[in-house]
Amino acid sequence: MPTAPPYPFGQPDPQLLRLGDGFFDAVTPAQFPVARLRYRNQGWATRMGLGELTPEQWQRHFWAFEPLAGNLPQPLALRYHGHQFGVYNPDLGDGRGFLFAQLRDHATGRLLDLGTKGSGPTPYSRRGDGRLTLKGGIREVLCTERLEALGVYTSKSFSLFETGEMLQRNDEPSPTRSSVLVRLSHSHLRLGSFQRLAHLGDKQRLRTLVDYACAAHFPHLPSPSPESLLREVSQRLAYLFASYTAAGFVHGVLNTDNLNLTGESFDYGPYRFLPYYDPEFVAAYFDQNGRYAFGRQAEACRWALDRFAEALSLLSPITPLRRVLCDFEPTVFAATHAAFLRRLGVAPKDPVADALLVAGCLCFLEASRLPFDTFFFDWYGGAASESRARSSPHRASYTGDKFAALRRQLAQYQPTHPQRLSEPYFQRPGPITLVYDDIERLWAPIAAADDWSLFLQKVSELQLLGQALGHAPAQSLATSPIP
């Protein structure tokens, strides 16, 4: 296909080509029979200089995958390994996706990657069809919208096309409709990218990858080294998993190939948002031992970072690398309290008081079985929301001696943004949620009658939530998760 003329505001910067041979494979996108655009992230398209693309141009680039002008001449499937549920797997890699383009963010100058999901088979598909179900694509769009609204550092769904194929799947009624997703993030590199090179004993390419990662993604580091890279990644992931706790989010599959360098959450398969606070809650039916349960996600991340350190030990002694990771747990601890208070809309006081308040809230949530999102909705701003909480459909939960003690703790905290209580979101009778049943309800009319009204309504509601909490669309990727 001929390459389209340059777009006036895009800043292509295909940095990954600097790595050279041995890190990726050029691949050919699938040819799909149908193009039905179901989601277009106009906010981020505008920010990246692609907002003026016509519908025809959008289809050419994000359905047929015609290269963007001045960008990667052909999609690249990245090579990586990883631990899956604790077992090392050398047969991974981009199996149904690829890196399509790299551009610069106008606002920050940071590198942004456009990657795909469901774009066809690659050398790493392991006999799979390389496709994505339409329901899977919808679930990912909704997940990224909600996480962005809650201030979680997440990849963003950029485009979703329905593609007209009927797929066979074991985990949902088949045949089922198909889609192709384009997502936006700051890095396509995973911990497993480094594990692969260490597993192969390829010290030279591992050094090249460390140098590239530091230069492309962390230019503020004083010198590129395994220790500085590990410290940066560890800190970013600590903040990510702290934000998971405040969001009540369970990723489901936290394998080392699902953790990236920049600390962004991505790749949403069997995720769940908590209906009630439960540390043992799991998202994936196949996680029978609860390895990635809600209350164990930070622990799983720490384990993955240990494996990352072991991979980097091909370049540096393991002892100083392990010493770097000693900061992970304290960072998660402090960041969790900060994230919890941010979601509650109150200003921190001191570390001890903040820890006691968060512990009191979690004990109350576990004992009362109050819906997780309801607590943050009813008590946003602390005591400033008492009249709202007392008129809540769940007001009966806010009685008794145990809650009275928590109420006294809340009274000591000042609201950070009391003006937000006048936002339309807080005039609703209850919170906007995205629990499992919510997704099933909006999928049913799509499956039965191609009725997208509930999906579009939910996307609008999630953006309303983000505006109320100060996390408007096209902001979360621009803000570093590390203060």
Predicted local confidence at residue 480, as pLDDT? 39
Average pLDDT over the chain, rounded to whole?
Answer: 93
Predicted local confidence at residue 174, as pLDDT? 81
Predicted local confidence at residue 190, as pLDDT? 97
- Residue 8 pLDDT more than 90? no
Predicted local confidence at residue 426, as pLDDT? 96
Measured CA to CA, the distance from residue 97 to residue 273 in angstroms comes to 25
- Enter the tokens of residue 128: 């799979």
- Residue 248 pLDDT more than 70? yes
Predicted local confidence at residue 171, as pLDDT? 75
What average pLDDT does the segment 442-463 reach? Answer: 97
Predicted local confidence at residue 473, as pLDDT? 57
Predicted local confidence at residue 170, as pLDDT? 81
Predicted local confidence at residue 431, as pLDDT? 97
Tell me the pLDDT tens digit for each residue of 279-336. Answer: 999 999 999 999 999 999 999 999 999 999 999 999 999 999 999 999 999 999 999 9
> Could you give the 3-state DSSP secondary structure of residue 276?
strand
Tell me how many degrees the CA angle 228-230-236 measures, rounded to the nearest 5.
Answer: 105
- Residue 217 contacts by C-beta under 8 Å, 6 or more apart in sequence? 111, 186, 187, 189, 261, 262
Can you give the pTM of this predicted structure?
A: 0.94
Measured CA to CA, the distance from residue 5 to residue 127 in angstroms comes to 37
- Enter the tokens of residue 380: 């946003």
Tell me the pLDDT tens digit for each residue of 119-133. Answer: 999 999 988 899 999
Based on the number of CB atoms within 10 Å of its own CB, is 4 exposed (0-12), middle (13-18) or buried (19 or more)? Answer: middle
What average pLDDT does the segment 422-451 reach? Answer: 96
> Closest by alpha carbon to 260, among 42, 99, 40, 34?
99
Tell me the pLDDT tens digit for each residue of 29-83. Answer: 999 999 999 999 999 998 888 999 999 999 999 999 999 999 999 999 999 999 9
pLDDT: which is higher, 475 or 420? 420
Predicted local confidence at residue 402, as pLDDT? 83
End-to-end alpha-carbon separation of the chain, Å? Answer: 45
Tell me how many degrees the CA angle 404-409-413 measures, rounded to the nearest 5.
Answer: 135
- Residue 481 pLDDT more than 50? no
What average pLDDT does the segment 384-395 reach? Answer: 95
pLDDT-wise least confident of 193-197, 222-226, 407-411: 222-226
Predicted local confidence at residue 172, as pLDDT? 78
Tell me the pLDDT tens digit for each residue of 266-284. Answer: 999 999 999 999 999 999 9
- Enter the tokens of residue 226: 């395994």
Kindly list the catalytic residues: 257
- Enter the tokens of residue 281: 């809650």
- Residue 182 pLDDT more than 90? yes
pLDDT: which is higher, 466 or 474? 466
Predicted local confidence at residue 7, as pLDDT? 53
